[in-house]
């Protein structure tokens, strides 16, 4: 399977628009052409740390105000065709920062605890 795109950068887009920039003038300010910038904002290519810093500087904000996690689905396998696997399920591989999974694990643990408390 071809790698799926990264997630669109909604916080970046909202801030760019709030600051009154169209894509082309903003792209010029951050030293790239409009198509290069568009691919980053729409999630077709990742944004490097250096680029996040440049975007924040031009927008005159802290990087954290515009930064979105670079989450990417890299592999999806349909197990329905696997005769050795009785469960019809999908296996999904995701590349994301560890802190994202730490947070998800905490939420899952919380839900399991709550579920266990409701069982007789």
Q: Is the pLDDT of residue 27 over 80?
A: yes
Q: Is the pTM of this model over 0.85?
A: no
Residue ranges of domains in the chain, CATH in brackets: 10-66 (1.10.260.40), 72-118 (no CATH)
What pairs with residue 6 in β-bridges?
A: 72
pLDDT digits (tens, 9 = 90+) for 4-20: 456 678 899 999 999 99
Average pLDDT over all residues of the chain: 80
Phi and psi of 79, rounded to 5°? -85, 0
pLDDT digits (tens, 9 = 90+) for 54-92: 999 999 999 989 987 766 655 555 655 666 655 555 556
């Amino acid at each position: 399977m071809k790698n799926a795109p990264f997630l669109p950068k909604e916080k970046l887009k909202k801030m760019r628009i709030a600051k009154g920039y169209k894509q082309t003038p903003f792209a010029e300010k951050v030293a790239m052409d409009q198509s290069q910038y568009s691919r980053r904002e729409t999630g077709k290519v990742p944004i490097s740390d250096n680029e996040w810093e440049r975007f924040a500087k031009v927008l005159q904000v802290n990087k954290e105000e515009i930064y979105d996690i670079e989450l990417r689905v890299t592999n999806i396998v349909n197990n329905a065709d696997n005769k050795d696997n009785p469960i019809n399920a999908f296996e999904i591989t995701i590349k994301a920062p560890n802190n994202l999974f730490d947070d998800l694990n905490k939420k899952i643990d919380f839900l399991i605890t709550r579920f266990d408390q409701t069982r007789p």
